[in-house]
């Protein structure tokens, strides 16, 4: 459970991974951290991430954090990423095999049972080789740079130790010189006056000798005090440099862990132990990450703790993939897909996940798509489609538990039938207020209920209400005011019950408006994450198909303002492309892509213009 909790919160902590504040190595640097920008940043993190430690409920597979609840595997972001993975080919080519072998070789060389200075150097020399592979994303180079920086800091400390030793030798020489000077003065004739000590002339001479002696000794004392101060300062600088190197190395380890690069975590922790051999492996981080480690392991975070967690995650992912393969062989598709999604959430970049064959994943993809479609059907209250999907999923997966979705479906159908029955009684009694209310309630519970259309048609077949509704419907369709039709869909659904032509018109309008509503909800969800450019692209895509919807236009206009720079670059590129200036247009598309790397519009424009400019390029 602890492994699932920690790995499930990594995605939520991704934006916080680069904002961890390590313990300051010196109290003098504290005021700089309390400046106004830092406070603003801290406040923004507090409002976004909260102060509570996430709680994982294994029964519902949800995480409760800061008063909000997330389903671990049932959310839009995860579903999209998981489906992309299921469609991707297995990384089982020669390059992937070589990369995995290189990483394994590095870990073997750093194994605590065999590591020595020679194997340490060999492992370090393999880091640039591993970093050359695309899958590594340059992380091994980052580790190599950190190890090199740590070694450099230790060399700087060694130089300071040598300088301190030289200063200490100089201080010893000064002390000996001082002793020799004092001894020489003690045996001088004027320092031993004998019987003439009370003579005034002799006293004057003695005072002069003492002053001269003090003058000779004073430079020794001053220099020795200066050397002592320099030695203390050098010692403090050496300790500070090593502490700073540790903090930087530990920050990298925590960052790799939060990025779910667990093999790289093992490489970094093993290098850390061999670079810093003083046994001090306390991870000096503050904020949410420290709370997560402490509440998960029950102790303050250390390099050993992070190392053991990474080992546990790697083992857990391998075990999850083995369970997936076994369940697939026994046609238990529901459990298999869940086990794979859990393993993917934890160890997206680990070899057992990346090397899984596409054929096996495609079987899970078909099932996952139906599961996602079932969730969407229940969300939009299309219970006929939901019931059909439940039947299909039961046929394809013998372990599928249909009790929860069927309970929702049957409950909705029963309640909708009760409202329709009350509407029929109200129609007989001539109670138009109750009639309208019950039909509205029945429509809200199950908008596409076939019985609703039938009963509504019977009730309004001979009434003025139906005729007025038909006139209003025709007028709104001619005006292309589909938003008003959608808002008043209950009245129109009843009015067209016995008019097949208008039924088809209304069905198309409602289907289009449903797509518009989905696009609006999708854009709003993306906007909530702060991705204004992505939200604008989602709204712009829907606008291309439904340009007359007022609500969609308003949201699109608001997002255009929020992503003004990106939209301006994209519009400039499109305008130049229309005027036959492919070179300038391509430059603006590239600028738009730089402003928002995930832009589909920019990518499509770049591909289109590249083919136009270089038609023979591969």
Condensed to tens digits (0 to 9), the pLDDT of residues 113-136 reads 888 888 888 888 888 888 888 888
The pair of three-digit structure tokens given for residue 241, joined into one six-digit string: 């440099």
Q: Of the candidates 335, 140, 355, which has an alpha carbon nearest to the alpha carbon of residue 256?
A: 140
pLDDT digits (tens, 9 = 90+) for 37-94: 334 444 444 443 444 444 445 445 555 544 555 455 556 677 778 878 888 888 877 8
The answer to which of 111-125, 337-351, 414-428, 491-505 has the lowest mean pLDDT is: 491-505
Please tell me the distance from the alpha carbon of residue 274 to that of residue 152, in angstroms, as a whole number.
Answer: 14
* pLDDT reading at 32 higher than 50: no
Instruction: Give the pLDDT confidence score for residue 230 in this predicted structure.
Output: 64
φ and ψ at residue 397, rounded to 5 degrees: -135, 110
pLDDT digits (tens, 9 = 90+) for 418-459: 988 888 887 766 577 888 888 888 888 888 888 877 776 666
- Taking the CA of residue 454 as centre, how many other CA atoms within 13 Å lie in the half-sphere pointing to its CB? 6
The pair of three-digit structure tokens given for residue 370, joined into one six-digit string: 């139906």
The answer to which of 197-201, 515-519, 574-578 has the lowest mean pLDDT is: 197-201
The pair of three-digit structure tokens given for residue 208, joined into one six-digit string: 């002069």
One-character DSSP codes across 347-400: -TTSHHHHTS-HHHHHHHHHHHHHHHHHHHHHHTT-HHHHHHHHHHHHHH-TT-
Instruction: Give the pLDDT confidence score for residue 69 in this predicted structure.
Output: 52
Instruction: Give the pLDDT confidence score for residue 524 in this predicted structure.
Output: 84
Edge-first strand listing for the sheet containing 55-57 = 55-57, 62-65, 68-71
Alpha helices, H only, 116-199: 117-131, 139-186
Q: At 480, is the secondary structure helix, strand, or coil? A: coil
The answer to which of 35-44, 88-97, 353-362 has the lowest mean pLDDT is: 35-44
Average pLDDT, the chain: 74
Taking residues 497-503, report their average pLDDT: 77
The answer to which of 228-237, 295-304, 372-381 has the lowest mean pLDDT is: 228-237
Taking residues 26-36, report their average pLDDT: 37
Instruction: Give the pLDDT confidence score for residue 38 in this predicted structure.
Output: 39
Q: At 55, is the secondary structure helix, strand, or coil? A: strand
Tell which wins on pLDDT, 317 or 426.
Answer: 317
* pLDDT reading at 238 higher than 70: no
Helix (H) or strand (E) holding 422: helix 403-429
- Taking the CA of residue 116 as centre, how many other CA atoms within 13 Å lie in the half-sphere pointing to its CB? 2
Tell which wins on pLDDT, 18 or 600.
Answer: 600
User: Band of the pLDDT at 23, cuts 50, 70, 90?
Assistant: very low
Tell which wins on pLDDT, 152 or 498.
Answer: 152
Helix (H) or strand (E) holding 62: strand 62-65
Please tell me the distance from the alpha carbon of residue 426 to that of residue 284, in angstroms, as a whole number.
Answer: 71
The answer to which of 227-241, 394-408, 555-569 has the lowest mean pLDDT is: 227-241
Tell which wins on pLDDT, 393 or 240.
Answer: 393
Instruction: Give the pLDDT confidence score for residue 600 in this predicted structure.
Output: 83
User: Band of the pLDDT at 137, cuts 50, 70, 90?
Assistant: confident
* pLDDT reading at 545 higher than 70: yes
Tell which wins on pLDDT, 425 or 9.
Answer: 425
Tell which wins on pLDDT, 515 or 49.
Answer: 515
* pLDDT reading at 25 higher than 50: no
Taking residues 187-216, report their average pLDDT: 57
pLDDT digits (tens, 9 = 90+) for 260-278: 889 899 998 888 888 887 6
The pair of three-digit structure tokens given for residue 239, joined into one six-digit string: 């300790």
Most confident of 21-25, 55-59, 549-553: 549-553
The answer to which of 175-179, 230-234, 327-331, 590-594 has the lowest mean pLDDT is: 230-234
Please tell me the distance from the alpha carbon of residue 501 to that of residue 474, in angstroms, as a whole number.
Answer: 11
Instruction: Give the pLDDT confidence score for residue 40 in this predicted structure.
Output: 44
The answer to which of 162-171, 359-368, 553-562 has the lowest mean pLDDT is: 162-171
Residue the block writes with tokens 């480690």: 293
Instruction: Give the pLDDT confidence score for residue 367 in this predicted structure.
Output: 81
Taking residues 377-406, report their average pLDDT: 85
pLDDT digits (tens, 9 = 90+) for 366-378: 887 788 888 888 8
DSSP letter, residue 53 = P
- Taking the CA of residue 468 as centre, how many other CA atoms within 13 Å lie in the half-sphere pointing to its CB? 5
């Amino acid at each position: 459970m602890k492994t699932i909790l920690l790995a499930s919160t990594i995605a939520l902590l991704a934006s916080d991974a680069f904002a961890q504040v390590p313990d300051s190595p010196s109290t003098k640097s504290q005021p700089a951290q309390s400046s106004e920008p830092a406070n603003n940043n801290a406040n923004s993190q507090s409002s976004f991430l909260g102060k509570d430690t996430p709680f994982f409920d294994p029964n519902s597979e949800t995480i409760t954090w800061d008063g909000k609840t997330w389903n671990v595997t049932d959310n839009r972001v995860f579903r999209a990423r998981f489906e992309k993975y299921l469609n991707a080919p297995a990384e089982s080519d020669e390059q992937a095999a070589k990369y995995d072998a290189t990483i394994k070789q590095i870990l073997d060389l750093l194994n605590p049972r065999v590591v020595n200075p020679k194997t340490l150097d060999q492992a370090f020399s393999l880091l640039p080789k591993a970093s050359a592979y695309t899958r590594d994303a340059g992380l091994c180079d980052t580790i190599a740079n950190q190890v090199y920086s740590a070694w450099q800091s230790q060399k700087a400390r060694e130089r300071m130790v040598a300088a301190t030793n030289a200063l200490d030798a100089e201080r010893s020489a000064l002390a000996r010189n001082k002793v020799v000077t004092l001894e020489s003065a003690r045996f001088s004739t004027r320092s031993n006056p004998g019987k003439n000590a009370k003579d005034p002339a002799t006293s004057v001479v003695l005072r002069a000798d003492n002053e001269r002696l003090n003058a000779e000794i004073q430079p020794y004392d001053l220099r020795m005090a200066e050397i002592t101060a320099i030695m203390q300062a050098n010692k403090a600088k050496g300790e500070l440099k090593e502490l700073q190197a540790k903090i930087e190395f530990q920050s990298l380890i925590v960052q790799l862990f939060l990025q779910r690069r667990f093999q790289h975590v093992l490489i970094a922790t093993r290098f850390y132990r061999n670079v810093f051999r003083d046994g001090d492996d306390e991870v000096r981080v503050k904020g949410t990450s420290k709370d997560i480690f402490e509440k998960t392991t029950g102790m303050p975070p250390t390099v050993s703790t992070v190392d053991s967690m990474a080992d546990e995650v790697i083992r857990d992912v391998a075990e999850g993939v083995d369970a997936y393969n076994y369940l697939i062989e026994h046609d238990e598709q529901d459990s298999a897909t869940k086990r794979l999604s859990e393993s993917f959430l934890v160890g997206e970049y680990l070899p057992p996940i990346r090397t899984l064959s596409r054929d096996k994943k495609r079987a899970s993809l078909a099932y996952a798509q139906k599961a996602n479609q079932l969730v969407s059907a229940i969300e939009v209250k299309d219970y006929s489609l939901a019931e059909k999907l439940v039947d299909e999923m039961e046929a394809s997966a013998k372990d599928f538990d249909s009790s929860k979705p069927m309970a929702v479906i049957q409950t909705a159908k029963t309640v909708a039938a009760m409202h329709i029955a009350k509407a029929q009684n109200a129609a007989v009694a001539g109670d138009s207020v109750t009639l309208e209310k019950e039909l509205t309630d029945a429509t809200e519970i199950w908008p596409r209920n076939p019985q609703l259309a039938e009963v509504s048609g019977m009730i309004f077949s001979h009434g003025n209400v139906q005729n007025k509704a038909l006139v209003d419907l025709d007028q709104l369709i001619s005006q292309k005011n589909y938003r008003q039709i959608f808002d008043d869909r209950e009245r129109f659904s009843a009015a067209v019950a016995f008019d097949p032509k208008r039924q088809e018109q209304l069905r198309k309008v409602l289907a289009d408006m449903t797509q518009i509503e989905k696009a609006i909800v999708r854009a709003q969800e993306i906007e909530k994450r702060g991705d204004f450019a992505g939200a604008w692209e989602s709204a712009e895509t829907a606008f291309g198909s439904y340009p007359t919807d007022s609500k969609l236009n308003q949201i699109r206009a608001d997002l255009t303002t929020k992503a003004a720079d990106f939209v301006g670059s994209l519009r400039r590129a499109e305008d130049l492309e229309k005027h036959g200036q492919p070179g300038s247009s391509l430059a603006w598309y590239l600028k738009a892509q730089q402003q928002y790397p995930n832009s589909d519009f920019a990518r499509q424009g770049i591909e289109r213009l590249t083919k136009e400019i270089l038609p023979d390029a591969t």
